[in-house]
Amino acid sequence: MSVAALLAAATAQAQEPAPAPNPASPVVQESAAPEDVTWTLEIEAPEPLRALLQRHLDLSRYLASPETAQVPRTELMRLRQAAPAQARALLETEGRFGAVVRTEASDRGERVTVVPGGPALPQVRLRLIVEPGPQTRVESARIEFEGALSLAADNGDTSAQMLQRQARESWALGPGQPFTQDGWSSAKGATLALLRAQGHATAAWSGTVAQVDAAQAQARLFLVADSGPLYRFGEIRYEGLDHVRIDAVQALQNFAPGDPLREQTLQEFQARLTRSSLFDTVAVQMEPDPALAEAMPVTVRLRERPLQQATLGLGVSDASGPRITLEHQHQRWFGWGWQARTRLQLAQTDRLAALDLTSHPHPGPYRNVAAALAQHAEASGLAVTTQSARLGRSKDDERLERLYYLEWQRVRTRVIDDGSVNDDTTALSLNYQWIWRDLDNALLPTRGTSLSLLTGAGQSYRATPRETGAFARATGRLTRYERLGPWYASARVQLGQVFARDAVAVPYTLLFRAGGDDSVRGYGSQDLGPVDADGDAVGGRVLAVASVEAGHPLRRGDPAFQGAVFVDAGNAEASWKGFNPVLGYGVGLRWRSPVGALRLDLAYGQQARRLRLHFSLGITY
């Protein structure tokens, strides 16, 4: 018997028990052939509806399996008869309520081998033909509220009225939008998330209705949200405190008892505790209980950092060569409420001893800072010896860091070749540092902007009264990160200037030099800048540096490892008159490690006419 005859016989047999077709969605019922026939399925529908049916339709998934390419007739008939109704149900989730679906079968005389070495069997093609009809769109959407939010708004509470307005305006399925099941669920979830984030932790839908007019392809939405009570801060319970005093932690609180208990407030509080560097882990938790809504207890679980911690480090840099570093941290220095960080560094051209003190938080929240440093560094043919001390106060927010400090420093420079001293200057200055960040990730940014400004004014002192006088200093750095398709791009601009009479001496460390891995690549650290009549390096009073860089993943879909190209330009000069920027450009490798970006660059300095290798870890703000 031919395949066509088998189809006809099977069809006649299957017509009796088949259900009556839906007049709005005519379906041509075909039967399966005996088991010595193989079957394939073709779905004729617009994308992405075709992909939806291929992924979820039982008939499609059954025939897609290699083990079921030769389908039993009874099973195929069941799946085939159910396919149109199942397809229409799937299409309704995409807002296609008037879809027409039918199936057809055809024998093209083709034969395929199902089992290796087995006989070639006749192949029958099944077609699922879909006429999706118009896309159903939202005609109207109405959201009403009940519970504490509604009562507060009716009584004139402006914050409650604003929240209601925000919920309505942010509703995703507005008039004209396609109505789909995923969109409907997502919009409802987003509105509840908004209410819960604004203090109504037990908000829920008391009723939602979507009235669909399939003939007009329109949907009318009506929803009622029960806000539940407005939760407010009650007792804050701290767990895990030992050497950190509770008043230091309370100083970081960004709320008072009775304030609305909002999700953003809790997140900011947790972020403050994390940034304090006093704790290894921080968890702020609450269990909403409507009976306690007026004074909801919040539990803060903390794990303090070790009281003391020492680190020994070995490394190498292109600026100072091999180095060994010893660092010690104490979380409660001499029993006082101060964190102490002591650093000793020994390198080929850089030796340093430093003590940084930071108080535990005070209300504001502010932290007092104190520091002392002694350093001897060699660069650009100069040996620079620095002693400094500072006292100040800092305040850190999620995006903004501020630091005010009074600084004393003495800087002595000596020419390495002949040992002669060419500068010995002392200065006392008052300074303000401001760092703003709007980044998607502070360690590994891919989008956003950072801006840092440092200003200061003071008095310098030197051996001769003629060279003593007032000065001011200002520097700024702007960095932008952006995604351009598969590329990770960044650009930065840095400007600086010292304001003082030409005769007034300013310490070398407050003047400017350029060059190095975070300045103009292709040149050594501080190689760029003015020189005196003897050809010895001196500090410049103006600085300008710009850089553009683009990185591309080395493997598709894996941004952790990237290749990069870059161009840097800039210089430090005695004045803006005759300012002459130099170029550096090259290629590099990037590894976005968990502790920051590791950069390895091969740069060509156009003025120096040589290649130089640079490497660094992390980013500078």
Is residue 513 very low, low, confident or very high in pLDDT (cuts 50, 70, 90)? Answer: very high
CA dist., res. 346 & res. 256, Å (int): 48
Cis amide prior to 48 (ω within 30 degrees) = yes
Q: Is 260's pLDDT higher than 90? A: yes
Q: What is the largest CA-CA distance in the chain?
A: 118
Could you tell me if 416 and 377 are in contact, meaning their C-beta atoms sit under 8 angstroms apart? Answer: no
pLDDT band, very low/low/confident/very high, at 319 (cuts 50, 70, 90) = low
Average pLDDT over residues 415-426: 83
**Local confidence band at 220 (pLDDT 50, 70, 90 cut-offs):** very high
pLDDT top residue among 511 and 318: 511
Please compute the mean of the pLDDT values over residues 283-306 and round it to a whole number. Answer: 93
Give the pLDDT of residue 206: 95
CA proximity to 460, closest of 420, 423, 415: 423
Segment among 173-187, 357-371, 415-429 with least mean pLDDT: 415-429
Model confidence band, residue 389 (pLDDT cutoffs 50, 70, 90): very high
Residue type, 534: D
Locus of tokens 């660094």: 616
Q: What is the pLDDT of residues 137-155, one digit of tens each?
A: 999 999 999 999 999 999 9
Give me the pLDDT at residue 79, please.
Answer: 83
Q: What tens digit of pLDDT does each residue of 335-379 get? A: 999 999 999 999 888 899 999 999 999 998 999 999 999 999 887
Among 59-68, 271-280, 389-398, the minimum mean pLDDT is found in 59-68
pLDDT bracket for residue 117 (50, 70, 90): low
181-207 as b/e: b if 16+ CB within 10 A: eebbeebbeebbebbbbbbbbbbeeee
Number of helices (H) and strands (E), helices first, in the chain? 9, 25
pLDDT digits (tens, 9 = 90+) for 18-67: 334 343 333 333 333 444 567 778 888 988 898 999 888 888 888 776 55
Top pLDDT among 215 and 4 is at: 215
Buried b or exposed e, range 367-387, using 16+ CB within 10 angstroms: bbbbbebebebbbbebbbbbe
Beta-carbon count within 10 A of 445 CB: 21
What pLDDT is attached to residue 27? Answer: 34
pTM of structure: 0.72
Is the bond leading into 507 cis (omega within 30 degrees of zero)?
A: no
